[in-house]
Amino acid sequence: MISLEIESTKETVLEHVKKEGVKFVEMQFSDIMGTVKSISIPSESLEEAMDEGVSIDGSSILGYSTVDESEFMGIPVLDSLQIYPWTCGTDQKTARLVCKIFHHDGNRFQGDPRLVLERATEKAKKMGFICNVGPEMEFFLLNQEEILNGIPRAYDKGRYFDLMPLDQGEKVRKEIVTHFNRMGFHIKASHHEVAPGQQEVILRHGDALSLADRVMTMKFGIRTIAKLNGLHATFMPKPFQDDNGNAMHVHQSLAHLNGENAFDDPDGKFGLSDIALNYLGGLLAHAKETCAVLTSHINSYRRLMPGYEAPCYIVWANRNRSALIRVPYLRGKGTRLEHRNPDPAGNPYLQFAVMLSAGLDGISKGIHPPQPVEKDVYSMSSEERTALGVNNLPENLGDALDQIEDSEFMKETLGDHIFQQYSSIKKMEWHEFKRQVTPWELERYIMSV
C-alpha cells in the first residue's frame, strides 16, 4: 500500500515505513505564499522526529519571522503518511508527512498557513458543518529544453477534450493520475484543457484540510513527474497571451455532522437550501476582499479578462460559465457551488480558508445573494451590467490589495501575523512590478513620443 488507510499512531507509522522499505521521509510544510517546503530525514530518524519534531529556521522561510525569533519545530500529522510512488523501485524510496509548525515553547506558530484553515474548519464544525471541497487543477506541460533556452512553448497542439495519439504529454497526465491514486488521493478524472499543452486533473471531493494537504503535495508531485519525463509543468495563471490561463475551480459544499448535504433542498429556490444561499451570499459579499488570496499573483489578473472563460464580474448563475460562482446541475448528495476565480499558483490553505470563512459569514449574517445572471456577462454593455447591479472583481493585484487594506473580515480570517506579512510581501511585489518598463512599452512609445 502506498497510503496508510488505518488509524495512525507512532507505532503503526514506524511499522508501515519499515515494512515498505522507505529510506527517506519528507517533512512537508508551506510558506505563506504556498511554496512547498520540506526537510528530508532518513527513516532511521523518524521516531525521533515524531517524538521531538524537526527544527526549522523560520528566518529563511518567506513570511515566517526575523532572525531574532526564528526557531520553530515541525510536528508531523501522523495520518498524513504517504509514499511517493515515483520513488518506488529505487534505493531512495520516499514518503511524506505533513507538518504543523510550533514555537520551541510548544505554542502553535500563528504564521503557519495550515493553522488558518484549521481554524476555519473548526469554526464550521462548531456551527454544525463539515466543509467539503473538490478542486480542479489546471497546468501547462512545456518542453523543458525550450524553457532553458528562453522560449516557453506548449508541448502539444491539442485543445479541449482532444483525444490524441499517445504522446509524452498524455503519458505524463496518465502517470500523474496513476501515482496519486496509488497514494489515495482519489483523482476523479483528467483531460486535455482548452489551450495547447494545458491539462486538468480533477480531485474527488473531501474535507477541506485533507484536500489542501493533497493540493500542496500534488503541485510538487506533478512538476516532479513531468521532469522525470523531460517536460516542465507550470501552474502559472497566464503563461501565454492569446490562450486561456490556469484556473483552480473549487467545488464546495457543507455537510451536516451526520454526513447529509446541507446545501440540498428539493423544495428550496433553485433546489438549494437557505444555508446554501446564505453561503453563496457570503462568497459574493466578500469576493473583492478574497481576491488577493484567491488570485494572488500579478500574472493572475492577466487570466481574469473577458474572452478567456475566466470570471471578471461578481455574479452567480446556474448555467452561465462566465459567472464568478456557478451552481452545477446535480442535486441531492451532489449539490454544491463552483467558485471559478481561484488559480493554482496560490496557497490552498489560505484559499480554502477565505472561501469557507466568507460562506460561514454569509450563514451567520443571513446574507441573501442577488438573482442569478444567466446571460453571458462578457457580452453585456457597461450600461446593462450597471442596470443589473453587476460589480467588477479587482483588475490587478494593486486593486486587490487595496480591498483588504481595511478588511476586518480578512484580518480575522488570516490572523494578525499572516495578514500583515502577506500584505507586506504582496505590496513589495506590486511596487516592484510598477517600476518595470516592459518591451511592449518600448516598442510602442520609444520612437513615437
Pairwise CA distance, residues 18 & 206, whole Å: 29
253 by DSSP, 3-state: which?
A: strand
Amino acid type, 199:
Q
How far is C-alpha 330 from the geometric centre of its chain's CA atoms? 23
User: Cell match 451526520: residue?
Assistant: 258
Residue 264 near residue 333, CB atoms below 8 Å: yes
In this structure, are residues 25 and 49 in contact, taking their beta carbons and an 8 Å threshold? yes
Q: What is the bridge-based pairing of β-strands 54-57 and 24-30?
A: unpaired
CA separation for the pair 49, 41 (Å, rounded): 9
Q: Which residues are catalytic?
A: 57, 136, 138, 193, 200, 249, 321, 338, 340
Q: Do strands 94-103 and 24-30 pair parallel, antiparallel, or not at all (unpaired)?
A: parallel
Which H or E run contains 277? Answer: helix 274-285
Q: Please check whether residue 64 is in contact with residue 72, taking contact to mean a CB–CB distance below 8 angstroms.
A: yes
Q: What's the CA angle centered on 23, arms 19 and 27, to 5 degrees?
A: 105
Find the DSSP H helices in 206-273. Answer: 208-228
For residues 91 and 216, what is the distance between their CA atoms, to the nearest angstrom? 25
d(CA 217, CA 81): 12
Q: Which residues of 277-298 are buried (b: 16+ CB within 10 A; e: fewer)?
A: bbbbbbbbbbbbbbbbbbbbbb
